[in-house]
Amino acid sequence: MERFTITTRVDEQSKQLGEQVKERLLHLGWMYDDQSPEILISVGGDGTMLHAVHQRIDMIDQVVFVGIHTGTLGFLTDYAVSEVDQLIEDLTTKSPKIDQVFLIQINRKNHRDLPPLFALNEARVENIIKTQRIEVFLNDEYLETFRGNGLCISGQLGSTAYNRSIAGAVIMPDFAALQMTEIAGIHHQLSKSLGSPLIVSPDTKIKLKSDSYYDTILAYDHLHVRLDGINEVTCSRSDKCVKFARYRKTSYIQRLHSLY
Ligand code: NAP
């Protein structure tokens, strides 16, 4: 891989580091190609990597991603600032193992189907003002009627992100799954839902139906759209994958330790 591009977070340290990596790779004969890169180097945090993935979503099959973290060790980034030399050496001398992580496909429906959206971490149907009443179906079989602020559907990668903040389970990386976690669920005699995170096979279609999603937001990773006029949101495993270049093994337990 020799055609590369770089996405940096907006802070000075990340921008300078990005420039440094770019100059060194150009010096080693690599070609900077922002239009059709083979590899994208993200410099910043896990959030920067999410932005980079969404920027390239239409050509996701053609690019592999690798990240330098300018903060603590990340989940989507393998190199620390002090390891830039190692990254350059790995990029220019090694063949990486490619880890493929599926994107969550989000379909919205009113009287017609809308173009799908994609998320790497999670999709959230959320309304912090008005209580949501959402009918949940797993592969078209009715599960429950949820009441509360909303529901979060995450994949393995997103299990340590928003999902973890709402007491969802952390899922180890060798286990592909979808997880549904309640956001401020209401539970009493007349309002019953599972009340605990639900982990399902990645091939499960999770359908969330509502009579009115008026004023409700569908947040997907760092992006969002309004759901006015929509009455059905379905989350499922997409055929699209994000490819991460792994030049060395980073312990997932070490990554977890960066959280606490
Ligand atoms: P952001 O500022 O880009 O990210 C918020 C925090 O979530 C940052 O500390 C980020 O790490 C971390 N993060 C992102 N993906 C992660 C992952 N897979 N595992 C562990 N931590 C992760 O926020 P944003 O632009 O609003 O949204 C981007 C993502 O942030 C969302 O997909 C959501 O999962 C997460 N988020 C979490 C909360 C929460 O936990 N309450 C609230 C909002 C958003 P870095 O510092 O390394 O970038």
Statement: residue 19 has pLDDT above 80: yes
CA distances in angstroms from 63 to 72, 93, 148, 164, 230, listed in the order given: 25, 19, 39, 29, 33
Statement: residue 67 has pLDDT above 70: yes
Q: For the chain, how are helix, strand and coil distributed in percent, rounded to 5? A: 25, 40, 35
User: What's the DSSP call for residue 189?
Assistant: T
pLDDT value at residue 1: 65
For 16, residues 6+ apart whose C-beta sits below 8 A from its C-beta are none
The answer to whether the CB of 234 falls within 8 A of the CB of 180 is: no
Mean pLDDT lowest among 127-131, 164-168, 200-204, 255-259: 255-259
Model confidence pLDDT, tens digit, residues 153-188: 999 999 999 999 999 999 999 999 999 999 999 999
For 189, residues 6+ apart whose C-beta sits below 8 A from its C-beta are none
Task: With CA atoms as reference, report the closest residue to 233 among 166, 146, 137.
Answer: 137
Strands 3-8 and 206-209, by their bridges, are unpaired
pLDDT value at residue 149: 98
Please confirm, yes or no, whether 113 is among the known catalytic residues.
no
pLDDT value at residue 153: 98
Mean pLDDT lowest among 71-75, 127-131, 231-235, 253-257: 71-75
The pTM of this model reads 0.96
Query: What is the rounded CA–CA span in Å between residue 204 and residue 260?
Result: 32
Name the residue of 222, 255, 256, 258 whose CB sits within 8 Å of the most ligand 1 atoms, as the mutation to test its pocket: 222
5 Cα–ligand 1 center, Å: 23
Task: With CA atoms as reference, report the closest residue to 4 among 45, 58, 54, 52.
Answer: 52
Tokens at 15, concatenated: 């921008």
∠ Cα 252 254 255 (to 5°): 65
The answer to whether the CB of 37 falls within 8 A of the CB of 5 is: yes
pLDDT value at residue 230: 96
The 3-state secondary structure of 189-247, one letter per residue:
CCECCCCCCEEECCCCCEEEECCCCCCCEEEECCEEEECCCCCEEEEEEEEEEEEEEEC
Q: Assign 225 a pLDDT band (cuts: 50, 70, 90).
A: very high
H helix or E strand, kind and range, residue 142: strand 141-155
- Quick check: CB of 161 below 6 Å from ligand 1? yes
Model confidence pLDDT, tens digit, residues 69-112: 998 778 999 999 999 999 999 999 999 999 999 999 999 998 88
The answer to whether the CB of 90 falls within 8 A of the CB of 232 is: no
203 Cα–ligand 1 center, Å: 25
pLDDT value at residue 197: 98
Statement: residue 22 has pLDDT above 80: yes
Query: What is the rounded CA–CA span in Å between residue 64 and residue 244?
Result: 5
Residue in the structure block whose two tokens are 């003002």:
129
| Ligand 1 atom nearest 72 alpha carbon | 47
Average model confidence (pLDDT) for the chain?
A: 96
Query: What is the rounded CA–CA span in Å between residue 187 and residue 156?
Result: 27
Model confidence pLDDT, tens digit, residues 34-43: 999 999 999 9
Query: What is the rounded CA–CA span in Å between residue 38 and residue 57?
Result: 14
Catalytic residue, chosen from 11, 34, 46, 78, is 46
Sequence letter at residue 146 = F
Model confidence pLDDT, tens digit, residues 46-64: 999 999 999 999 999 999 9
User: What's the DSSP call for residue 36?
Assistant: S
pLDDT value at residue 130: 94
